[in-house]
């Protein structure tokens, strides 16, 4: 009987070893451990065995049953693994085929840059103030300390709008966002004439100059100005605040310098240079080998401008600065032609 | 302005400072140096190693350095003929060490050929073998190195140089003939080596548009002494004695409008000999960008560039002739409208009543402050000059030729220095398109005090260079003296506005360097502006003017960096701006590219989609296609789409202002949103073929998302009567909270034909953001139920004419709160349903705050079907 069991085991294991698919496995299971399999018949013939034989044969039959079952399980796992390996192999993709396109929208690069600047200014407490694009000469020039026929007006050639009877106060496309300074100051004064509140604003928007459209000059461009007005604001505060701003903008290690300059609406006035962020100040094409980039104009608000805004220059002081988002983008991205911005070629826009 | 360093050194000691040091100091103080041009002086290494060096150099640098060993002062001792070439001469020359033979074809030495040993040797710039110079025969500035060669059988290894070869001018004719006292053998770089700073003069720095002005700034910045009374050492010859009749006996002046002409000064110099100026003077003028003419004209220009006061020289004898036996009377007055004057450029100019003229009793002499008249100009009748300007001369006869000639050179010169109203000069120069060195300065403001100093200096130079005798006295009429600005400054002011602590003495020292007069009294500093400055006001503005000078003189770089100590204003945000930014974010999220377009367009361009009668018109457009301000944002975005029409798929938007005209007043600037979509819904790819094109419903879907994102819920779409050129059957208006806020649809086929688009339809939308922003959005989130929803589909057949929106509204109304979603998932038409009929299939979601039974759902459903039957004649589709 024991011999028979050994034979059963040997034959079963032998036939199992050549099985490679699930159907054959199922057939093998029925044939070898199924109810009518030779092994089960051994269990079925148990009653005929002698008292001595029973435990010996029983133990042997059980061992064979366990052995066959575990062999089946092992084989089943191997068959499954092989099948999976095969299907994985068959499902292999060409990973170099392009990914599926997703239609997404983008902001215009100027809007993106405006947002970068405005979010830094917001962190510093400067709130957005917007105002109209078509202005009167009074607001665009006179209130900002540009006298009629003043040479400084030549720095800002203007587009005029047709209007009659306004020889003293023609209508023009604003040449800078600075008229907003006057409007904002007047609103603040109106809110509390006895004790005008301090002002911290950022003035973004489109400005216009009479220029030919070339790679280097455009008839319209964005500007962002900052304005701080209050009691005891000094030129040293201007330097501190703008250095802080520029470092948030261009990196905490950015070196800066202030050069004396001239704007009619500030005094003293300065240009602020930042060490070239393309070459780190070593000299490159972007900074024309100077190591410095001119990035903003600034100055202490001129007493006449404070006065025109309703703030007494004997008590209040302040500073203002202005910069161009498109110029910043051009420097940062080595864009050599300003016409790209309003050309709106999607092949340009999609790169931002 | 172009400033030769050698000229600057007449007035300030610059020892120990490199050219770059000087340029840097000036730049930081507001006198920005745009370029440094080396003309002989040693160049910094980076510049010498080639202009395209990648090394850092602070300034744009150009030019040439002269080798001290190889380029020296030499003297020509004899001019001989070349044995084999008629047009060449051989020069016997001494370079300080040895004799040399040099070949030249220079025209200005040719006439001495064969003259034998020269009585007086001619001093020249001599370049030895191996020198690097500009090629005198090349177009533009090309460097070359002198090599030994045989020219027509004669050994050539060196040369005498022209100005072009040395980089002094861009073109030249003949060799440089140096002044007689040039030291033979001296390196040329030590003798006349120079560097020229090209400085941008800001409008408030006009006082510095002269050599002394820059020297004064440098003196203040370095604490060095300013020597204003210096005259150039190189021309410092004894002045001829002042003698003869006083000019006051000969000339009188009448100023008719002192506002326009606050001061007028004349001086007289007699018996001048017109000839070229000393070479040193010519060289400086040329480096400063002024042509050298003759010693008299050069003296006026030289004094102007040095001091800042433009001068005008009259031929005294012409004025005397015009006056006849009367005393010469100079009158300044405004022109009569239509009055004419021939200016010295030979142009007859028609004047207007705004122009100021310098006249005598016979008529106008010059256009004040801008340009002289031709009749009374200083005249040089020497043969060389007449030949050069094409006037034929015959002995004993009046010259004939291109200009009406006087035949006789000027002998006596009346020199004018005046002060003019800067705005008037500015307008006159602009009106006649006459930008000149004089009008550049006068139109930016020249202090009247300089009129006298200028005339004196000009006369001195004329005396030195033309051997004239200065007549005693000056005629000086000065009806309108500018008020000396006096400003009170305290350390408290300096602290309050600049943020630095300075004592009265320190403030005083900083200002004194810039020639302010400072008096310390009673804890105050009384500051008086110096008599060359027109830009210092009084009072609170004057304080700012003076503090700017304190800050500049102190150095911006030395001022500390601090943070503001006053309180912040309330942080209130900008709701309009923030709302628009949110709108932009939503538009980007639904797949649209933002564009930003020109505000200036033309009515013709906009008329492709919409017509307006009135526009905000630009008075001075740069081009006809930019002649008005846009009144339609969609037209702008359509143009951008058209330009990008080659792209397979386009979806773009712009948010911005349009401009509605208001007669003779500022226009309205309402904000708009425009959207354009055209092309394929999904770009073609390896697994995407024949993607459908964008249509009406693509735009509508985006609008739905956009309005939902803005939290609007009460939205209706209806047929539109818009004036836009839209497809009548494929367009709609959008109502939010009952108000029309926008319109969208397919561009009308006829309008589309006006553009260069592809076959795909062009879908457009425009929204009025002013209206939209004013509407109340709805806030509040519907809670998500914990009970399971039930889903059910119903399909109904009904007439084509019934709008889907009507059906949906009926379903929602009838279903009540329990029907939480109604989704149209199929629209179907075929013969079995019947002509003029359609089938609409809806998926309904039932949701209640409990688990609904089938029976409850069926009850609602039956109610809905019945209502649809009754109201729109719908039949349930089996």
DSSP A104: -
Residue A134: per-residue pLDDT: 98
A310 near B CB under 8 A:
no
Q: Considering its fold, how many domains does chain B have in total?
A: 6
Same domain for A121 and A58, yes or no, is no
Query: To the nearest whole number, what is the mean pLDDT of chain B?
Result: 91
Banded pLDDT at A276 (limits 50, 70, 90): confident
Query: Which residue of chain A comes nearest to B558, CA vs CA?
Result: A236
Give φ, ψ of B616 to 5 degrees: -80, 115
Taking CB atoms within 8 Å and a gap of at least 24, the contacts of A51-57 are A53/A1, A56/A2, A57/A1, A57/A2, A57/A5
Query: Which residue of chain A comes nearest to B547, CA vs CA?
Result: A268
Q: Exposed (0-12), middle (13-18) or buried (19+): which is B295, by Cβ within 10 Å?
A: buried
B599 near A CB under 8 A:
yes
A234 near B CB under 8 A:
yes
Taking CB atoms within 8 Å and a gap of at least 24, the contacts of B287-293 are B287/B2, B287/B4, B287/B39, B287/B168, B287/B194, B287/B196, B288/B1, B288/B2, B288/B3, B288/B4, B288/B7, B288/B196, B289/B1, B289/B2, B290/B437, B293/B380
H-only helix segments in chain A:
2-17, 22-33, 38-44, 53-90, 109-123, 137-140, 179-191, 235-250, 303-309, 325-333, 340-343, 346-349
Least confident stretch, B209-218, B340-349, B623-632: B340-349
Banded pLDDT at A147 (limits 50, 70, 90): confident
Same domain for A60 and A186, yes or no, is no
Domain of B525: which CATH number?
Answer: 3.30.56.10
Residue whose pair of structure tokens reads 């000149």 in the numeric block: B436
- Are A317 and B620 inside 8 Å of each other by CB? no
Least confident stretch, A243-257, B36-50, B719-733: B36-50
In a domain, A170, yes or no: yes
Give the C-alpha separation, B365 to B339, whole Å: 12
pLDDT at residue B659 tops 60: yes
A174 near B CB under 8 A:
no
DSSP B647: S
Distance from CA of A325 to the nearest CA of B (A): 13
Give the C-alpha separation, B675 to B584, whole Å: 12
Same domain for B444 and B471, yes or no, is yes
Query: To the nearest whole number, what is the mean pLDDT of chain A?
Result: 92
Same domain for B617 and B516, yes or no, is no
- Are B596 and A108 inside 8 Å of each other by CB? yes
Alpha-carbon Rg for chain B, nearest whole angstrom, is 42
Distance from CA of B213 to the nearest CA of A (A): 16
Same domain for A61 and A123, yes or no, is no
Which residue from B557, B564, B572 is facing A228, i.e. has the nearest CB? B564
Of B250, B297, B264, B458, nearest to B369 (Cα)? B264
Residues of A in contact with B616 (CB under 8 A): 134, 161-162
pLDDT at residue B576 tops 90: yes
In a domain, B559, yes or no: no
Of B670, B671, B720, B721, nearest to B700 (Cα)? B720
Residue A101: per-residue pLDDT: 84
Give the C-alpha separation, A124 to A116, whole Å: 13
Residue A55: per-residue pLDDT: 86
In a domain, B821, yes or no: yes
Same domain for B180 and B200, yes or no, is no
Q: Considering its fold, how many domains does chain A have in total?
A: 2
Domain of A27 in residue numbering reads as 2-90
Most distant CA atoms of chain B, gap in Å: 135
Of B742, B743, B794, B799, nearest to B770 (Cα)? B742
Contact B411, B419 (CB under 8 A): no
Q: Read off the pLDDT of each residue in B156-161 and give the average, rounded to a whole number.
A: 93
- Are B595 and A108 inside 8 Å of each other by CB? yes
Contact B764, B743 (CB under 8 A): no
Three-state SS letters, B225-253? CCCCCCCCHHHCCCCCCCCCCCHHHHEEE
In a domain, A100, yes or no: no
Which residue from B426, B564, B581 is facing A149, i.e. has the nearest CB? B426
Contact B330, B361 (CB under 8 A): no
Residue whose pair of structure tokens reads 């500051």 in the numeric block: B527
Residue B237: per-residue pLDDT: 44
Same domain for B85 and B34, yes or no, is no
DSSP A291: S
Give the C-alpha separation, B637 to A208, whole Å: 20
CA A15 to chain CA mean position, Å: 64
Same domain for B245 and B335, yes or no, is yes
Contact B775, B737 (CB under 8 A): yes
B496 near A CB under 8 A:
yes
Query: Which residue of chain A comes nearest to B544, CA vs CA?
Result: A267
Residue A153: per-residue pLDDT: 79
Same domain for B723 and B826, yes or no, is no
The helix, strand and coil proportions of chain A, stated in percent and rounded to the nearest 5, come to: 45, 20, 35
CA neighbours within 13 Å on the CB side: how many for B441? 31
**B524-528 and B486-489 strand pairing:** antiparallel
pLDDT at residue B720 tops 80: yes
Give the C-alpha separation, B72 to B84, whole Å: 28
Contact A242, A272 (CB under 8 A): yes
Same domain for B754 and B673, yes or no, is yes
- Assess whether the previous peptide bond of B51 is cis (omega < 30° from 0): no
DSSP B507: H
Query: Which residue of chain B comes nearest to A160, CA vs CA?
Result: B619
A152 near B CB under 8 A:
yes
Give the C-alpha separation, A143 to A132, whole Å: 16
- Are A151 and B206 inside 8 Å of each other by CB? yes
B99 near A CB under 8 A:
no
Residue B685: per-residue pLDDT: 87
Same domain for A196 and A278, yes or no, is yes
A329 near B CB under 8 A:
no
Most distant CA atoms of chain A, gap in Å: 133
Same domain for B655 and B749, yes or no, is yes
Residue whose pair of structure tokens reads 């007035």 in the numeric block: B11
Same domain for B755 and B707, yes or no, is yes
Banded pLDDT at B234 (limits 50, 70, 90): very low
Determine how many CB atoms are found less than 10 A away from the CB of residue B835.
7
Determine how many CB atoms are found less than 10 A away from the CB of residue A191.
11
In a domain, A104, yes or no: no
B307's CB contacts (< 8 A; 6+ apart) are: B210, B211, B212, B450, B453, B454, B457
Coil/strand/helix, residue B417: strand
Residue B759: per-residue pLDDT: 93
In a domain, A124, yes or no: yes
- Among candidate residues A55, A90, A125, the one where a domain is terminated: A90
Same domain for A147 and A230, yes or no, is yes
For residue B517 the two structure tokens come to 């007069």
Which residue from A220, A235, A283 is facing B54, i.e. has the nearest CB? A283
Give the C-alpha separation, A289 to B734, whole Å: 56
**B33-40 and B60-65 strand pairing:** parallel
Q: Exposed (0-12), middle (13-18) or buried (19+): which is B636, by Cβ within 10 Å?
A: buried
pLDDT one-digit tens code per residue, B837-877: 999 999 999 999 899 898 998 999 999 999 999 999 999 98
Contact B630, B657 (CB under 8 A): no
In a domain, A103, yes or no: no
Give φ, ψ of B706 to 5 degrees: -60, -50
Determine how many CB atoms are found less than 10 A away from the CB of residue A92.
7
Q: Read off the pLDDT of each residue in B762-782 and give the average, rounded to a whole number.
A: 93
Residue whose pair of structure tokens reads 């506002």 in the numeric block: B259
pLDDT one-digit tens code per residue, A26-81: 999 999 888 888 888 888 888 888 888 888 888 888 898 999 999 999 999 999 99
Same domain for B183 and B261, yes or no, is no
B836's CB contacts (< 8 A; 6+ apart) are: B799, B800
Give the C-alpha separation, B346 to B365, whole Å: 13
pLDDT at residue B52 tops 50: no
B577 near A CB under 8 A:
yes
Same domain for B590 and B733, yes or no, is yes
Q: Read off the pLDDT of each residue in B828-840 and give the average, rounded to a whole number.
A: 90
In a domain, B779, yes or no: no
pLDDT one-digit tens code per residue, A280-338: 877 787 888 788 899 999 999 999 999 999 999 999 999 999 999 999 999 989 899 99
pLDDT at residue B236 tops 50: no
Same domain for B658 and B730, yes or no, is yes
Domain of B146: which CATH number?
Answer: 2.40.50.140
Residue B385: per-residue pLDDT: 67
Same domain for A127 and A71, yes or no, is no
Residue B394: per-residue pLDDT: 59
Same domain for A284 and A314, yes or no, is yes
Three-state SS letters, B130-154? CCEEECCCCCCCCEEECCCEEECCE
For residue B146 the two structure tokens come to 């002198």
Same domain for A260 and A162, yes or no, is yes
Residue B233: per-residue pLDDT: 44
Of B387, B190, B442, B412, nearest to B318 (Cα)? B412
Sign of CA dihedral B631, B637, B643, B645: negative
In a domain, A95, yes or no: no
Query: Percent of chain B having pLDDT more than 90?
Result: 75
In a domain, B167, yes or no: yes
**CA distances from residue B504 to B27, B507, B540 in whole angstroms, order as listed:** 28, 5, 18
For residue B70 the two structure tokens come to 């190889």
Contact B285, B305 (CB under 8 A): yes
Q: How many A-B residue pairs are in contact by the CB < 8 A criterion? A: 281
- Are B619 and A212 inside 8 Å of each other by CB? no
Same domain for A117 and A70, yes or no, is no
Domain of B545 in residue numbering reads as 486-553
Same domain for A140 and A262, yes or no, is yes
Host H or E run for residue A126? none
Q: Read off the pLDDT of each residue in B622-626 and give the average, rounded to a whole number.
A: 94
Edge-to-edge strands, sheet with B371-372: B251-255, B328-334, B356-360, B363-367, B371-372
Same domain for A162 and A295, yes or no, is yes
Q: Read off the pLDDT of each residue in B63-74 and give the average, rounded to a whole number.
A: 96
- Are B620 and A261 inside 8 Å of each other by CB? no
- Among candidate residues B141, B173, B192, the one where a domain is terminated: B192
Domain of B585: which CATH number?
Answer: 3.30.930.10
In a domain, A152, yes or no: yes
Q: Exposed (0-12), middle (13-18) or buried (19+): which is B199, by Cβ within 10 Å?
A: buried
DSSP B414: E
In a domain, B636, yes or no: yes
pLDDT one-digit tens code per residue, A106-145: 999 999 999 999 999 999 999 999 999 999 999 999 999 9
CA B50 to chain CA mean position, Å: 29
Between positions 655 and 684 of B, the ones with CB within 8 A of A are 657, 659, 664-667, 669, 682-683
Which residue from A125, A200, A344 is facing B640, i.e. has the nearest CB? A344
First to last CA, chain B: 93
Banded pLDDT at B393 (limits 50, 70, 90): low
A100 near B CB under 8 A:
yes
For residue B753 the two structure tokens come to 């034909």
In a domain, B561, yes or no: no
Contact B787, B811 (CB under 8 A): no
First to last CA, chain A: 84
Same domain for A155 and A251, yes or no, is yes
In a domain, A101, yes or no: no
Distance from CA of B570 to the nearest CA of A (A): 9
pLDDT at residue B772 tops 80: yes
For chain A, count helices (H), then strands (E). Answer: 12, 10
Residue B403: per-residue pLDDT: 46
Give the C-alpha separation, A266 to B545, whole Å: 10
Domain of A297: which CATH number?
Answer: 3.30.930.10
């Amino acid at each position: 009987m024991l011999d028979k069991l050994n034979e059963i085991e040997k034959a079963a294991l032998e036939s199992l070893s050549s099985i490679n698919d699930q159907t054959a496995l199922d057939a093998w299971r029925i044939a070898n451990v199924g109810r009518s399999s030779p092994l089960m018949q051994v269990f079925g013939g148990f009653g005929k065995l002698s008292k001595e034989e029973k435990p010996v044969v029983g133990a042997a039959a059980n061992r064979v049953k366990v052995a066959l079952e575990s062999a089946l399980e092992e084989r089943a796992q191997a068959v499954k693994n092989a099948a999976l390996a095969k299907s994985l192999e068959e499902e292999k993709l060409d990973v170099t085929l392009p990914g599926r396109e997703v239609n997404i929208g983008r902001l215009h690069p100027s809007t993106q840059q405006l947002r970068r600047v405005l979010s830094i200014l917001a962190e510093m407490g400067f709130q957005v103030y917007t105002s109209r694009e078509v202005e009167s000469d009074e607001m665009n020039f006179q209130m900002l300390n540009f006298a009629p026929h003043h040479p400084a007006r030549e720095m800002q050639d203007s587009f005029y709008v047709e209007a009659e009877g306004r020889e003293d106060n023609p209508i023009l496309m604003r040449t800078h966002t600075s008229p907003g300074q006057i409007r904002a100051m007047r609103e603040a004064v109106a809110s509390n004439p006895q004790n005008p509140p301090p002002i911290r604003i950022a003035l973004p928007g489109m400005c216009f100059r009479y220029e030919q459209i070339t790679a280097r000059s455009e008839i319209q461009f964005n500007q962002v100005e900052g304005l701080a007005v209050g009691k005891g604001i000094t030129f040293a505060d201007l330097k501190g605040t703008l250095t802080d701003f520029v470092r948030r903008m261009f990196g905490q290690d950015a070196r800066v310098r202030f050069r004396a300059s001239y704007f009619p609406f500030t005094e003293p006035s300065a240009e602020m240079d930042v060490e070239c962020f393309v070459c780190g100040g070593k000299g490159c094409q972007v900074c024309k080998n100077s190591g410095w980039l001119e990035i903003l104009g600034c100055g202490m608000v001129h007493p006449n401008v404070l006065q025109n805004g309703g703030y007494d220059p004997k008590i209040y002081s302040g500073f203002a600065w202005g910069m161009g988002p498109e110029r910043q983008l051009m420097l940062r991205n080595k864009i050599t032609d300003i016409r790209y911005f309003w050309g709106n070629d999607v092949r340009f826009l999609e790169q931002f | 302005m172009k400033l030769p360093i050698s000229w600057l050194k007449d007035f300030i000691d610059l020892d120990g400072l490199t050219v770059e040091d000087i340029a840097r100091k000036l730049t930081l103080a507001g006198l920005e140096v745009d370029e440094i041009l080396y003309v002989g002086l040693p160049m910094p290494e980076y510049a010498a190693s080639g202009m395209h060096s990648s090394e850092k150099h602070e300034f744009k640098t150009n030019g040439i350095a002269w080798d001290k060993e190889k380029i020296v002062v030499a003297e020509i001792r004899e001019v001989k003929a070349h044995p084999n070439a008629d047009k060449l001469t051989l020069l016997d020359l001494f370079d300080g060490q040895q004799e040399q033979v040099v070949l030249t074809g220079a025209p200005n030495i040719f006439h001495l050929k064969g003259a034998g040993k020269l009585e007086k040797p001619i001093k020249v710039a001599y370049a030895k073998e191996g020198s690097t110079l500009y090629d005198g025969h090349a177009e533009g500035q090309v460097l070359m190195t002198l090599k030994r060669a045989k020219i027509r059988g004669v050994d050539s290894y060196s040369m005498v140089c022209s100005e072009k070869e040395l980089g002094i001018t861009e073109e030249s004719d003949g060799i440089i003939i140096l002044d007689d006292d040039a030291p033979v053998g001296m390196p040329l770089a030590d003798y006349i080596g120079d560097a020229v700073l090209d400085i941008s003069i800001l409008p408030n720095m006009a006082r510095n548009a002269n050599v002394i002005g820059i020297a004064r700034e440098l003196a203040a910045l370095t604490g060095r002494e300013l020597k204003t009374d210096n005259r150039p050492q190189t021309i410092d010859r004894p002045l001829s004695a002042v003698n003869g009749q006083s000019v006051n006996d000969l000339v009188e002046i009448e100023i008719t409008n002192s506002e326009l002409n606050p001061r007028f000064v004349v001086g007289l110099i007699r018996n001048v000999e017109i000839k070229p100026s000393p070479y040193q003077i010519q060289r400086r003028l040329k480096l400063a960008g002024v042509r050298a003419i003759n010693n008299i004209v050069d003296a006026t220009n030289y004094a102007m560039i040095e001091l800042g006061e433009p001068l005008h020289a009259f031929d005294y004898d012409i004025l005397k002739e015009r006056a006849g036996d009367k005393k010469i009377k100079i009158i300044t007055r405004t022109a009569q409208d239509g009055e004419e004057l021939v200016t010295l450029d030979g142009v007859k100019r028609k004047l207007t009543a705004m122009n100021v003229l310098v006249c005598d009793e016979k008529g106008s002499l010059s256009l004040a402050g801008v340009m002289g008249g031709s009749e009374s100009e200083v005249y040089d009748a020497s043969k060389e000059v007449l030949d050069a300007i094409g006037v034929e001369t015959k002995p004993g006869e009046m010259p004939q030729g291109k200009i009406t000639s006087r035949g006789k050179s000027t002998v006596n010169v009346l020199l004018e220095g005046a002060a003019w109203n800067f705005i008037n000069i500015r307008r006159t120069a602009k009106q006649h398109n006459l930008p000149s060195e004089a009008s550049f300065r006068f139109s930016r403001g020249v202090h009247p005090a300089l009129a006298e100093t200028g005339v004196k200096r000009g006369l001195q130079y004329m005396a030195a260079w033309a051997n004239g005798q200065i007549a005693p006295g000056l005629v000086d009429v000065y009806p309108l003296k500018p008020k000396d600005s006096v400003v009170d400054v305290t350390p408290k002011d300096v602290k309050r506005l600049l943020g630095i602590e300075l004592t009265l003495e320190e403030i005083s020292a900083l200002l004194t360097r810039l020639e302010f007069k400072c008096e310390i009294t009673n804890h105050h500093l009384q500051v008086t502006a110096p008599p060359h400055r027109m830009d210092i006001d009084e009072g609170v503005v004057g304080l700012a003017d003076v503090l700017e000078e304190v800050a500049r003189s102190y150095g911006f770089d030395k001022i500390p960096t601090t943070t503001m100590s006053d309180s912040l204003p309330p942080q209130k945000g900008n709701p309009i701006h923030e709302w628009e930014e949110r709108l932009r974010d939503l538009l980007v999220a639904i797949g649209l590219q933002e564009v930003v377009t020109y505000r200036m367009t033309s009515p013709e361009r906009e008329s492709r989609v919409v017509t307006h009668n009135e526009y905000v018109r630009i008075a001075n457009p740069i081009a006809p296609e930019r002649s008005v301000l846009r009144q339609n944002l969609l037209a702008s975005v359509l143009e951008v789409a058209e330009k990008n029409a080659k792209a397979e798929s386009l979806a773009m938007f712009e948010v911005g202002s349009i401009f509605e005209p208001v007669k003779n007043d500022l226009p309205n600037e309402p904000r708009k949103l425009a959207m354009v979509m055209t092309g394929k819904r999904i770009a073609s790819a390896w697994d995407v073929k024949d993607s459908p094109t964008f249509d009406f419903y693509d735009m509508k879907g985006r609008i739905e998302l956009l309005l939902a994102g803005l939290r609007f819920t009460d939205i209706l779409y209806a047929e539109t009567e818009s004036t836009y050129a839209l497809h009548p059957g494929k367009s709609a208006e959008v109502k939010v909270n009952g108000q029309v806020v926008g319109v969208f649809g397919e561009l009308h086929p006829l309008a589309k034909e006006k553009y260069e688009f592809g076959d795909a339809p062009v879908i457009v939308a425009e929204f009025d953001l002013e209206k939209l922003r004013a509407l109340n959005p709805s806030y509040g989130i519907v809670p998500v139920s914990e009970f399971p929803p039930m889903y059910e589909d119903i399909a109904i057949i009904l007439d084509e004419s019934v709008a889907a929106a009507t059906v949906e509204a009926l379903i929602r109304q009838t279903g009540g709160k329990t029907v939480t979603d109604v989704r149209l998932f199929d629209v179907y038409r075929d013969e079995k349903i019947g002509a003029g009929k359609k089938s609409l299939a809806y998926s309904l979601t039932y949701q209640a705050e409990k688990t609904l039974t089938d029976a409850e759902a069926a009850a609602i459903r039956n109610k809905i079907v019945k209502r649809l039957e009754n109201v729109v004649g719908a039949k349930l589709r089996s």
